[in-house]
Amino acid sequence: MLGFITNQLQSLLCPGLRIRRLSVLCAQPRPRAMASSSSSWELPLVAVCQVTSTPDKQQNFKTCAELVREAARLGACLAFLPEAFDFIARDPAETLRLSEPLGGNLLQEYTQLARECGLWLSLGGFHERGQDWEQTQKIYNCHVLLNSKGSVVATYRKTHLCDVELPGQGPMRESNSTIPGPSLESPVSTPAGKIGLAICYDMRFPELSLALAQAGAEILTYPSAFGSITGPAHWEPFSS
């Protein structure tokens, strides 16, 4: 099972790789459809891409696209992008203004990118204007999975929103602008294995992980955009 990937682990996972913000990992062995040698197993490659998002959506897309194309060149079958890969705004009002529906221009660019590169994309946290946008004026934090043809094969809307008090910084209230998702998404079969979709703060709730594992998930994903306080409070204890 592919677990938590942190900045500190990158040099251990791929010491010879000299690509900024890109880790290429081996997932679980998968059987080959046609084995011509004595071994009938091979290790699919997956890429974990790290980016520092800004309010500039096009610049963020350019950065992500460069990493995805490099992952494809190295032979990865699936590339993971983090939560808020699309943008990180300066305030909640800007977050709402920059958000888009799943059928908007930005996601179309990522579907074209998946087709161009011929690999699957895990888009770890898209600021989605749902069908209830006009009524609620709130968004969903949506994990989108695209196949190599650019089709949306799964969407998971974050169920556990991060409402916390930060020492020295005051409250963080994701629920001020975001609606919790209604349900879990069944694990999805991909070339790297069966993937269970989650997002960031979901990792604090083990029932979600157990439900996905019991449903057959081989890889649990927690794309995240933690800050300087919330990051160490989650990645270091939970990955040790």
Residue found under tokens 């160490």: 232
149 is catalytic: no
Which of 64, 185, 200, 218 is flagged as catalytic? 200
Which of 100, 158, 174, 218 is flagged as catalytic? 158
Which of 83, 100, 174, 185 is flagged as catalytic? 83
- The two three-digit tokens of residue 156, written as one number: 């998971």
158 is catalytic: yes
Burial class (CB in 10 A: 0-12, 13-18, 19+), 220: buried
Q: Residues 129, 100: contact at Cβ < 8 Å?
A: yes
83 is catalytic: yes
Q: Residues 221, 184: contact at Cβ < 8 Å?
A: no
Amino acid, single-letter form, for residue 121: L
- List the 219-221 sheet strands across, edge first: 188-190, 193-197, 219-221
Helices in the chain by DSSP H: which ranges? 10-13, 57-73, 92-98, 105-117, 133-136, 206-214, 230-239
Q: Which residues are catalytic?
A: 83, 158, 200
